Structure 1
Amino acid sequence: MTIDAVIFDIGNVLIEWQPEKFYDRVIGPERRAALFSEVPLHEEHQRVDEGVALADVVFPLAERFPRWGAEIRMWHDHWVELAAPEIPHSVRLLRALKRNRVTVFTLTNFGHDNYPMSQQAFPFLREFDREYVSGRLRLIKPDPAIYAHVEADCGIAPDRLLFTDDRQDNIEAARARGWQTHHFTGPEGWAARLVAEGLLSKEDAQ
């Protein structure tokens, strides 16, 4: 089946999304474990992906848990260090697709205000032909509505979209709409899929 557009998730596909690693470096693994057990950081962050400003989530959370106030505010004040580093092989694949004139989108659960911060830190996040960012759309994966929005906006038939994401639930939601999918577990497997689809040569995919 012909592929008319390749769609990348971002977190854990193009840049790492493992906030625990940042806190391990800054406050140590033991304090990090305590912080994450007491404060619902990941759960609250979903509100950012749904469209609430990062500061409007983080700062009230710091007030709710004053014992951890300084550490919670790091989620906002050190965002670029928190959502990092880039995954170099994945970035090379993105750019190889662009060189081959393959249309490339992103479909990402990301906040409307912290996404530009990450774009400034990682310029390759500005290279997509179209950006579907949950915080802007106020739709979030794996809600079928966000996939429907992509289809309506780009006008490409679902079976001509190839989507990669690290979360199985997001992949299953796309597959249910007829998209072609690849569950991302590392850039090597994604590279092999792009080669198998005829979108990249083996040399391009290195």
Structure 2
Amino acid sequence: MSRPEAVIFDIGNVLIEWQPERYYDRVVGEDRRRAMFETVDLYAMNGRIDCGADFRDTVYETAMAVPEFAAEIRMWHDNWLELAQPVIERSVALLRALRARGMPVFALTNFGIGTFDLAEAHHDFLGEFDRRYISGHMGVIKPAPEIYVMVEQDCGIAPDRLLFTDDRAENIEAAAARGWRTHLFEGPEGWAARLVDEGLLDEKEGPLP
């Protein structure tokens, strides 16, 4: 099989950890966090942001609708950088190793316009992709088939020459249905090994030191 012509990274939980529950457990306690998440679907709220809705307006409108947890919900906006951390440094190193070898590296991520702007201002590697496909700008989120079609049409690379990693099985399955090569991200070690297997990195670049 021919080598991939581009490698595509998801961002959340691949390059930057995204576990909002962990932040809330630390700040307000697990019991209150559980009660809040049972009362309001914060991931649905975030999905609207990822589809292009205004970051602040969406969070603050949700907070107004749920007065019991208004202060905590506003933290999703006001303290967002603390929700989205830490950086997965080994994954960033793999991204940079690929680019150093001349391999085009893209991002395909469910990310809001405002949240991505905020993240990019704090993480220089987010500006290092050859192409970036940000759902907030595209108006569609993974795993909708349309987002994968949009990537194919924009980059002009055949689906079977795209290698994509994501931490969510449904996103991987949707890409595989288009004929993409895929890797379910469960940690940088497995991803590094896959990149070596594909002939994109060598053994000294791939395995963890």
- Range into which the TM-score falls when normalised by the shorter chain: over 0.9
Amino acid in the other structure paired with 1:93:
L
Deviations 1:136-193 (A, max 9, x none): 0101111111101100100111110000001111101111111100011111100000
Task: Specify the alignment match of 1:56 in structure 2.
Answer: 57
Contact 2:6 2:105 in 1 (8 A): yes
The whole-number CA distance in structure 2 between the counterparts of 1:83 and 1:180 is: 27
TM-aligned CA deviation for residue 93 of structure 1:
0.6
C-alpha distance after superposition, 1:21-61 (max 9, x if no partner)? 11111111111111111121111111011110111210011
Instruction: Name the counterpart of 2:203.
Output: 202
- Quote the residue 1:183 is aligned against: 184
Runs of 4+ displaced beyond 2 Å: none
> What is the distance in 2 between the residues matched to 1:68 and 1:140?
27
Structure 1 CA distance for aligned equivalents of residues 203 and 22 of structure 2? 33
Q: Within 5 Å, give how 1:45-194 maps onto structure 2.
A: 45-194=46-195
Partner amino acid for 1:159? Answer: D
2:3–2:199 contact (8 Å) kept in structure 1: no
SS in 2 for 1:185: coil
* TM-score for the superposition, normalised by structure 2: 0.96
- CA shift, 1:202, in A, is 1.6
Q: In 1, Cα distance between the equivalents of 2:125 and 2:61?
A: 32
- The 2-side partners of 1:143 and 1:29 are apart by 33
- The number of equivalent residue pairs is 206
SS in 1 for 2:118: helix
Mapped partners of 1:180, 1:86: distance in 2: 25
Match of 1:19 in 2: 20
Residues in 2 aligned to 1:22 and 1:122: alpha-carbon distance in whole angstroms: 19
Gaps spanning 5+ residues in structure 1: where?
none
Cα offset, 1:89, TM superposition: 1.0
Aligned partner of 1:135: which letter? G
State the TM-score, normalizing by the size of structure 1.
0.98
Deviations 1:2-29 (A, max 9, x none): 2100000001100011000111111111
Structure 2 portions without partners, runs of 5+: none
Q: CA RMSD in A?
A: 0.8
Q: Percent identity?
A: 58
Output the CA distance in 2 between the equivalents of 1:42 and 1:113. 16
1:30 paired residue number: 31
Partner in structure 2 of residue 5 of structure 1: 6
Q: Secondary structure at the match of 1:94?
A: helix
Distance (Å, rounded) in 2 between the aligned partners of 1:24 and 1:97: 36
Q: CA deviation at 1:123?
A: 1.1
